[in-house]
């Protein structure tokens, strides 16, 4: 198995009896390591848009007498600023989520209402790519959760489905419940994900195509936020995907049983 970081102290009590205190801090070390990695990644990820902005500003300064160029590069600057602010927002969100569940405000929610809100939030981006969002509510389960976080997580899944589909395509969102488990599925017929990437896409900053992700305003944090929201709700998120066929992301939560 995996090596563990164990510290043991053995105190002899008498001739044939010892007291051993074993201190296992494997998890604490792993958490510390993961925090450090995150900090390094964050500074690296922030440098890219900041560097791009400064270069764009310099170019505009030098070519100030060419209005067409100024317009083009200003537009690029606006796009980079938008991505930078999304990045900062998501970094704050993920730090908050990793901090623990104590900050969550759980309330009884109608899942189809939450899904509806997420779909509406994703509508503008979908319209821009001429993508139809089709919602299919098969069951109306009630769940216990933080409304804003659930909307954010589901919206991330829908935004991705839109982003990784061809223009004019359709994205389906279904709500179902079975055996005490509520499930929201987001189904696209987009580019799909290679089997070797399917586990890693939930990692912070992991993208299968960094250039494409950056170009479409992606941050590489969306799915890791979705995963953390699921974990904070004792739920799960899973992917089924086939390159060239499409992807289905399924977000599951326990159905809330009303006390009677
Ligand atoms: P990003 O901001 O890059 O979209 P995410 O964390 O949301 O970051 O997703 C991580 C990566 O997973 C993406 O860069 C992309 O490679 C892949 N991905 C996520 N959703 C989809 C999807 N619906 N179809 C194809 N690839 C996807």
Q: What is the pLDDT of residues 113-160, one digit of tens each?
A: 999 999 999 999 999 999 999 999 999 999 999 999 999 999 999 999
The Å distance, Cα 231 to ligand 1 centre, comes to 19
Looking at residue 10, its pLDDT comes to 84
- HSE value, Cβ hemisphere, 13 Å, CA-based, for 110: 7
Query: Does 222 sit in the ligand 1 pocket, CB within 6 Å?
Result: yes
Residues with Cβ within 8 Å of residue 205, at least 6 apart in sequence: 41, 45, 219, 220, 221, 224
Q: What angle do CA 233, 90, 230 make, to 5 degrees?
A: 15
As given in the structure block, the two tokens for residue 3 are 């090596």
From residue 237, give the alpha-carbon distance in Å to each of 56, 96, 255. 39, 19, 15
pLDDT of 98-112, one tens digit each? 877 566 778 999 999
Cα angle, residue 34 at apex, residues 242 and 7 outer, rounded to 5°: 125
Kindly report, residue by residue over 55-105, the tens digit of the pLDDT.
Answer: 999 999 998 888 999 999 999 999 999 999 999 999 999 988 887 756 677
Beta-strand relationship, 132-137 and 107-110: unpaired
Measure the CA–CA gap between 41 and 102, rounded to whole angstroms: 26
Span 204-253, pLDDT tens digits? 999 998 888 888 888 999 999 999 999 999 999 999 999 999 999 999 99
- Asked whether the whole model's pTM tops 0.90, one would answer no
Q: Are strands 132-137 and 170-178 parallel, antiparallel or unpaired?
A: parallel
Whether 221 lines ligand 1, by a CB cut-off of 6 Å, is yes
Place 260 in a pLDDT band, splitting at 50, 70 and 90. Answer: low
Better-scored residue on pLDDT, 14 or 161 = 161
| pLDDT of res. 30 | 84
Whether the ipTM is more than 0.95: the answer is yes
DSSP class of residue 220? S
Task: Identify how many contiguous H helices and E strands the chain contains and give both numbers.
Answer: 6, 9
Q: Is the distance from the beta carbon of residue 209 to the nearest atom of ligand 1 less than 6 Å?
A: yes
Dihedral of the alpha carbons of 147, 152, 156, 162, in degrees to the nearest 10: 80
Q: What is the largest CA-CA distance in the chain?
A: 91
Helices 26-62 and 67-98: angle between axes, nearest 10 degrees? 170
Q: What are phi and psi of 5, to 5 degrees?
A: -95, 105
> Residue 237, Cα to own-chain centre: how many angstroms?
10
Tell me, what's the pLDDT at 102?
60
Protein residue with its CA nearest to atom 25 in ligand 1: 192
Residue 141 Cα, ligand 1 centroid: separation in angstroms?
28
Question: Which of 83, 129, 193 for a ligand 1 pocket mutation test, highest count of atoms within 8 Å of Cβ?
Answer: 193
Residue 112: CB within 6 Å of ligand 1?
A: no
DSSP string across 183-209 = EEEEEE-SS---GGGTTGGGSTT--SS
165 close to ligand 1 (CB < 6 Angstrom) = no
């Amino acid at each position: 198995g995996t090596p563990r970081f164990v510290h043991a102290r053995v105190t002899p009590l008498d001739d044939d009896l010892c007291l051993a205190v074993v201190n296992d801090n494997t998890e604490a070390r792993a958490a510390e390591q993961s925090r450090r990695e995150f900090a390094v990644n964050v500074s690296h990820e922030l440098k890219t848009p900041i560097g791009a902005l400064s270069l764009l500003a310099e170019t505009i300064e030098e070519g100030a007498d060419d209005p067409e160029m100024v317009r083009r590069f200003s537009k690029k600057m606006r796009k980079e600023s938008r991505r930078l602010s999304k990045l900062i927002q998501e970094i704050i969100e993920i730090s908050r989520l990793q901090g623990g569940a104590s900050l969550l405000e759980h309330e009884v929610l109608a899942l189809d209402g939450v899904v509806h809100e997420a779909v509406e939030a994703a509508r503008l981006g979908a319209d821009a790519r001429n993508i139809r969002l089709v919602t299919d509510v098969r069951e109306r389960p009630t769940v216990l959760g933080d409304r804003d976080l659930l909307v954010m997580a589901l919206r991330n899944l829908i935004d991705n489905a839109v982003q990784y589909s061809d223009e004019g395509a359709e994205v389906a969102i279904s709500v179902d419940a079975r055996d005490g488990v509520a499930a929201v599925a987001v189904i696209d017929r987009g580019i799909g994900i290679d089997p070797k990437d399917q586990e890693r896409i939930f990692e912070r900053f992991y993208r299968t195509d960094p250039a494409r992700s950056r170009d479409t305003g992606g941050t590489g944090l969306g799915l890791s936020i979705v995963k953390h929201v699921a974990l904070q709700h004792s739920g799960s998120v899973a992917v089924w995907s086939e390159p060239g066929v499409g992807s289905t992301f399924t977000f599951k939560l326990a159905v809330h049983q009303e006390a009677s």
